[in-house]
Chain A
Amino acid sequence: MSTHTGGYYLPAASHWPVVGSFALLCAALGATLLIHDLSGGGWLLALGAAALLVMLVGWFGNVIRENQGGLYDARVDRSFRWGMSWFIFSEVMFFAAFFGALFYARVIAVPDLAGGEQVALLWPGYVGGWPTAGPGLEAAFTPMAAWGLPAINTLLLLSSGVTVTWAHWGLKRGRRGQLLLGLALTVALGVAFLGLQAYEYRHAYVDLGLTLGAGVYGATFFLLTGFHGLHVSIGALMLMVILGRALAGHFKPDNHFAFEAVSWYWHFVDVVWLLLFVFVYWL
């Protein structure tokens, strides 16, 4: 039922987008109700999440079938490349907002609170410095040390960048075993990273007193590492899908943009982590 126009594949009418809109409507309403302890919020949020999942599976399933059916030409492939590049750029800017908040707090807000008339009139005795929970909170916390778990996590993610590239080489040279092993290792490293990150969060809350409420340090720490962790989770899911498709024999040495898109995304998540390691954990 689709149109073939000058080679560029134009999909027919699709119900997946409105399913996605319905999902986000439910999720937004549900989350709002949940935040305000109103009844039905959890259920509505769960419904929204389920609908979103169904939509993603259905929509990407469509795309995969069309691709396998040979409907996409080189120009469609280029569209996907442009689209993914712009998407990753938008993700970079999303993280930029939170890194901006971190740098602003460290370079401008905290020194300002600890100097001049502010410290004399409003916060006597506040010395500032970093990390800090600010001048007005009772929260005592220990910051997360860089050279423990975070360093191991850095090693894990950097290795996963190597394994996914190794898998890509395998794919391009038609070595199926190398492709599958490389992808499986990448997934394993990603999951191991997430496990350690969960352990670190528990450690922060239980032993260190480092919580979301621990001033601007806790806020930037958890929002930056949390959104990064969310992206690693999404990336790991994408890698699993790619692994499944590799097992099904979907990729050819000269035609495998889905693989490349996921590996671009994975490298992006990697780079964000390096910045996190330097500016959140280390310096």
Chain B
Amino acid sequence: MDAHATTADPLASTHHGAPRGLARWLTTTNHKDIGTLYLWFAAVMFLVGGLMAMLIRVELFEPGLQVVQPGLFNQLTTMHGLIMIFGVIMPAFTGFANWQVPLMIGAPDMAFPRMNNWSFWLLPVAGALLIGSLFLPGGAVAGGWTMYPPLYLQGGISYDLTIFAIHIMGASSIMGAINIATTILNMRAPGMTLMKMPLFVWTWLITAYLLIAVMPVLAGAVTMLLTDRNFGTHFFDAAGGGDPVMFQHIFWFFGHPEVYILILPAFGIISSVIPTFARKPLFGYASMVYATASIAILSFIVWGHHMFTVGMPAAAQLFFMYATLLIAVPTGVKVFNWVATMWRGSMTFETAMLFAVAFVCLFTIGGFSGLVLAMAPVDIQLQDTYYVVAHFHYVLVTGALFSIYAGIYYWLPKWTGHMVDETLGRWHFWLSAISVNVLFFPMHFLGLAGMPRRIPDYALQFADFNRIASLGGFVFGASQILLLWVILKCIRGGRRAEAKAWEGAEGLEWTVPSPAPYHTFAQPPEVK
């Protein structure tokens, strides 16, 4: 099939004299270009963070010290966490927002196109500072991605570089969030009322609010680390009247809303994919909106559940425990609505739908282990064991990452103008879905048996499950190469995608041609 004869060159509609080549990408103000940059940045960081994970699993393949020394092992776990959170999941979701939000609300572009460019181009700077610190004397940060003092106060030059990297990354996130929030609030097409917006747009509006509220708090926290390290302050030093636990409070005041920043856009993607392939409108749209908002509000009052073992009054433990358990209610509403959307739907299982259904099942497992950990007496047993590692990998890998996969398979036709190779996609899905459970499910057992996290060596009784997890990890890691292949193949060619690439798809993004022209909705559409 000749794909190129009929494919409009996405650059054909750019202005005369617009920069080409590298300069185009460095100076672009186009939301689609910038979305593409975000997504490729996330892909590159995913490779880097993924290779670190592979090294971790190689070391844990058997007890004893094999390939990496403990110091490097700690650097790998720390960097893996920082890169996957700030370099992969967040940029990937921002990439989706850049591509999809203007298309979904009928806007000509983002509200602040130049600032949009800066939001992206700060990320490679932050990434370079962070990853470059691996090669400095003393190596990269090794105190865990949570950066707790006093450990964090004792490191070398890379610790200061990491603080600045977080400042810059935070500035990028705040500007990106301001841009997205303003776009959603001010750039909607006539008739696109708030309660008609696609749920992906709603979840991103609430995510943007969370980002603007908590990224500055993280900036404040790491600034205090910086001054404690270098300028003689005593925020986190009891000798000066400070308290290392205070850092944990400030950090997790950022950190818990942050975990919803990492999952709310996932809810939005899943809420787009499932109705399309169930060929039914989303069940309980309004309740989805209110559930998302409730989760966001609750996220500000549950941070203490990350700190049950540091010492806090029983009343505070009870408060944080009950507040955390309360989050199960709006989350349950969401899972119920997704299932109800599929109920008696005319379902087909394209790769996007497979990942979405897997998300609903596997994210729910992560949610349930979260409920287990929310209970203070249980958490005191499980704190800092592999049970916690299993929990947050279920919500972040089979949750956030699988939603990103679902979104990629779902919107690639719109971005490239070609349908995805479903056979390869299915291979990617089944290999990933099976291996990821082989990788992470045994970690529950390891944690319940008492294996601590962030340790390169372990007692003999943990050997079997670790070996199984490592094998699953290698297969999972290798399977992701398939995804890269699928994406490249889809960019280069394939069956032509219609404007409405999926039979059951609804929404403004499916009214523009595939691939979406460089500029869309120059004249705002009328939404009824």
Check if A87 is an interface residue, CB within 8 A of chain B: yes
Check if A146 is an interface residue, CB within 8 A of chain B: no
- Interface SS majority for chain A: helix
Query: How far is the CB of A261 from the nearest CB of chain B, in Å?
Result: 13
Given contacts A82-B181, A219-B227, contact A12 B522 (CB under 8 A): no
Check if A29 is an interface residue, CB within 8 A of chain B: yes
Query: How far is the CB of A220 from the nearest CB of chain B, in Å?
Result: 8
- What 0/1 readout, one digit per residue, does chain B (13-43) give for beta carbons within 8 Å of chain A? 0011111000110111100000000000000
Whether A10 contacts B122 by the Cβ 8 Å rule is: no
Residues from chain A with a CB closer than 8 A to the CB of B181 are: 82, 86
Given contacts A79-B186, A219-B227, contact A24 B235 (CB under 8 A): no
Query: How far is the CB of B311 from the nearest CB of chain A, in Å?
Result: 9
Whether A35 contacts B185 by the Cβ 8 Å rule is: no
Given contacts A11-B29, A15-B27, A18-B26, contact A216 B250 (CB under 8 A): no
Query: How far is the CB of A222 from the nearest CB of chain B, in Å?
Result: 8
Given contacts A90-B178, A218-B233, contact A133 B240 (CB under 8 A): yes
Q: Complex Cα distance A35/B240, Å? A: 22
Query: How far is the CB of A95 from the nearest CB of chain B, in Å?
Result: 8
- What 0/1 readout, one digit per residue, does chain B (211-226) give for beta carbons within 8 Å of chain A? 0111111011101100
Residues from chain A with a CB closer than 8 A to the CB of B234 are: 133-134, 137, 213, 215-216, 218-219
Q: Complex Cα distance A80/B184, Å? A: 13
Q: How many residues of A contact B (CB 8 A)?
A: 69
Check if B135 is an interface residue, CB within 8 A of chain A: no
Q: Complex Cα distance A25/B185, Å? A: 32
Given contacts A8-B108, A213-B234, contact A105 B243 (CB under 8 A): yes
Whether B186 contacts A96 by the Cβ 8 Å rule is: no
Whether A105 contacts B186 by the Cβ 8 Å rule is: no
- What 0/1 readout, one digit per residue, does chain A (70-92) give for beta carbons within 8 Å of chain B? 00000100110011001101110
Q: Complex Cα distance A188/B214, Å? A: 34
Whether B246 contacts A105 by the Cβ 8 Å rule is: yes
Q: How many residues of B contact A (CB 8 A)?
A: 80
Check if A101 is an interface residue, CB within 8 A of chain B: yes
Residues from chain A with a CB closer than 8 A to the CB of B245 are: 109
Residues from chain B with a CB closer than 8 A to the CB of A95 are: 220
Q: Which of A7-47 contact B (CB under 8 A)?
A: 8, 10-18, 20-21, 24-25, 28-29, 31-32, 35-36
Residues from chain A with a CB closer than 8 A to the CB of B179 are: 83
- The total number of A-B Cβ pairs within 8 Å is 236
Query: How far is the CB of A65 from the nearest CB of chain B, in Å?
Result: 13
Name which of A5, A13, A82 has the most chain B CB atoms within 10 A of its CB: A13
Whether A109 contacts B241 by the Cβ 8 Å rule is: yes
Whether A137 contacts B522 by the Cβ 8 Å rule is: no
Q: Complex Cα distance A95/B523, Å? A: 42
Residues from chain A with a CB closer than 8 A to the CB of B228 are: 219
Check if B510 is an interface residue, CB within 8 A of chain A: no
Whether B19 contacts A17 by the Cβ 8 Å rule is: no
Whether B240 contacts A216 by the Cβ 8 Å rule is: yes
Whether B18 contacts A10 by the Cβ 8 Å rule is: no
Given contacts A90-B215, A93-B214, contact A13 B18 (CB under 8 A): yes
Given contacts A11-B29, A17-B114, A96-B217, contact A108 B168 (CB under 8 A): no
Question: Can you spell out 19 A-B residue pairs with CB atoms less than 8 angstroms apart?
Answer: A5-B109, A5-B519, A5-B522, A13-B28, A14-B117, A29-B129, A31-B164, A32-B160, A59-B114, A79-B182, A82-B181, A86-B178, A90-B215, A101-B224, A133-B241, A137-B234, A219-B228, A219-B240, A223-B224
**Further pairs besides A13-B27, A79-B111: 6, Cβ < 8 Å:** A13-B24, A21-B118, A24-B125, A122-B238, A136-B238, A215-B234
- In order of increasing CB-CB distance, the 6 nearest A-B pairs are A97-B220, A136-B239, A134-B241, A17-B118, A219-B233, A94-B216
